[in-house]
């Protein structure tokens, strides 16, 4: 099941990354690079943190193939994708939720402590997006006011909590993914965000 969820997350993130590439007017190669990097980037970061080499998402052909197929699909059908921007946001939120929970679950399987599993889960969820934003010269979404990392931390935390109380697999994954995705979508719909530091008063010279 972890493999299936990983592929779902890869597809969702690749589609959202390729959409950004199209919006930035990149060529076919550029769109595929951004899409594939977004799709498998989080998994690469996760595996490097866990000492899994080579990273599974690069060593297994399915991940790169899924990311490439969805990137190409977005490039070809982008006029239709542009008309359903809401669906792209849903895909991005779903990818975030899936990677947060599968990242935390993988960390637990490999013997990580609970706090490490939460951090690795959240890092898996935001890793691909950070690489995407760097490639297209944007400030990473995780550093803006939008709630993005927080839902990922919540989803990963629920997986770790479910594991701690002995909840049967895969209930922790389901609960964590649904909660993280829903929280992200609610934040987008209602404009929820974390507070920023107040402006300092200007000094009078």
pLDDT of 3 above 80: no
pLDDT of 84 above 70: no
Tell whether 148 is covered by a domain. yes
Q: What is the pLDDT of residue 205?
A: 53
Q: What is the pLDDT of residue 35?
A: 94
Place of tokens 């599993």: 117
Tell whether 84 is covered by a domain. yes
What is the C-alpha separation between 64 and 79, in angstroms, rounded? 24
Overall domain count for the chain = 1
Q: Residue 61: how many CB atoms within 10 A of its CB?
A: 8
Tell whether 204 is covered by a domain. no
Is pTM, for the whole model, over 0.85? no
Q: What is the pLDDT of residue 80?
A: 66
Q: Which domain holds residue 80?
A: 2-190
| Secondary structure class of 76 (helix, strand, coil) | helix
What is the pLDDT confidence band of residue 89, given thresholds at 50, 70 and 90? Answer: confident
pLDDT of 203 above 80: no
Which DSSP letter does residue 192 get? Answer: -
Contact 88, 45 (CB under 8 A): no
């Amino acid at each position: 099941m972890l493999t299936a969820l990983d592929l779902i997350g890869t597809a969702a993130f690749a589609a959202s990354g390729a959409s950004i590439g199209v919006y930035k007017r990149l060529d076919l190669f550029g769109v595929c690079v951004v899409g594939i990097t977004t799709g498998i980037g989080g998994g690469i970061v996760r595996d490097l943190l866990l000492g899994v080499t080579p990273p599974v998402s690069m060593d297994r052909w399915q991940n790169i193939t899924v990311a490439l197929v969805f990137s190409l699909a977005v490039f070809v059908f982008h006029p239709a994708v542009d008309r359903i921007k809401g669906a792209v946001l849903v895909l991005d939120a779903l990818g975030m939720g899936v990677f947060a929970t599968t990242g935390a679950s993988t960390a637990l399987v490999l013997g990580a402590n609970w706090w490490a599993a939460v951090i690795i889960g959240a890092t898996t969820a935001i890793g691909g997006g950070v690489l995407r934003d760097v490639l297209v010269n944007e400030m990473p979404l995780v550093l803006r006011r939008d709630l993005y990392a927080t839902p990922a931390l919540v989803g990963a935390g629920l997986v770790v909590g479910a594991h701690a109380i002995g909840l049967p697999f895969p209930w922790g994954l389901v609960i964590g993914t649904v909660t993280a995705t829903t929280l992200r979508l609610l934040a987008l719909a209602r404009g929820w965000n974390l507070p920023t530091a107040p402006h300092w008063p200007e000094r009078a010279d």
